[in-house]
Amino acid sequence: MSDEKMVGTTTGNRLLRALLYTVLVLFAVYYLLPLYVMVVNSVKPLDEIRQGNMLSLPALFTLEPWAKAWSSAQVGVQPTGLKPYFFNSILMVVPAVAISTVLGALNGYVLTKWRFRGDDVVFGLILLSCFIPFQIALIPAARILGFLGIAGTTTGLVLIHVVYGLGFTTLFFRNYYAAFPTELVRAAQIDGAGFFQIFRRILLPSSSPIIVVTVIWQFTNIWNDFLFGVSFGDFDSLPMTVALNNLVSSSGGVKEYNVHFAGAILAALPTLIVYIVSGRYFVRGLMAGAVKG
User: Could you list the residues that contact other proteins (CB under 8 A)?
Assistant: 181, 183-184, 186-193, 197, 201-202, 205-206
- Closest by alpha carbon to 54, among 40, 73, 75, 69? 40
189 vs 251, beta carbon nearer other proteins: 189
**Which one, 122 or 264, has the nearer CB to other proteins?**
122
- On the 0-12 / 13-18 / 19+ scale of CB atoms within 10 A, 97 is buried
CA proximity to 282, closest of 209, 174, 175? 209
- Taking the C-alpha atoms of residue 135 and residue 142, their distance in angstroms, rounded to an integer, is 11
Q: How far is the CB of 122 from other proteins (least distance, A)?
A: 18
**Please, what is the minimum distance in Å from the beta carbon of residue 187 to other proteins?**
4
Give the C-alpha separation, 175 to 196, whole Å.
Answer: 20
Nearer to other proteins, 38 or 204 (CB): 204
In whole angstroms, what is the distance from residue 218 CA to residue 224 CA?
Answer: 10
Q: Of 180 and 261, which has the nearer Cβ to other proteins? A: 180
The minimum distance between CB 190 and other proteins, in angstroms, equals 5
How far is 281 from 167, CA to CA, in rounded Å?
Answer: 21
Closest to other proteins by CB, 177 or 228: 177
Dist. CA 110–CA 180, nearest whole Å: 13
| Nearer residue to other proteins within complex by CB, 190 or 291 | 190
User: Which residues fall within 8 angstroms of residue 109, CB to CB, at 6 or more apart?
Assistant: 173, 177, 199, 203
Q: How far is the CB of 183 from other proteins (least distance, A)?
A: 4
Residues 6+ away with beta carbon under 8 Å from 100: 161, 162, 165, 166, 169, 214, 218
Q: How far is the CB of 77 from other proteins (least distance, A)?
A: 54
Q: What is the C-alpha separation between 287 and 236, in angstroms, rounded? A: 40
State which residue, 133 or 192, has the beta carbon closest to other proteins: 192
**Pair 213, 274: CB distance under 8 Å:** no
Give the shortest CB-188-to-other proteins separation in angstroms. 7
End-to-end CA distance of the chain: 23
Are residues 17 and 7 in contact, defined by beta-carbon separation less than 8 angstroms?
Answer: yes
- Residue closer to other proteins, measured from CB, 3 or 183: 183
Q: In angstroms, what is the minimal distance from the CB of 204 to other proteins?
A: 9
What is the nearest approach in angstroms of other proteins to the Cβ of residue 193? 5
Q: How far is CA 108 from CA 94, 168, 200, in A?
A: 21, 11, 13
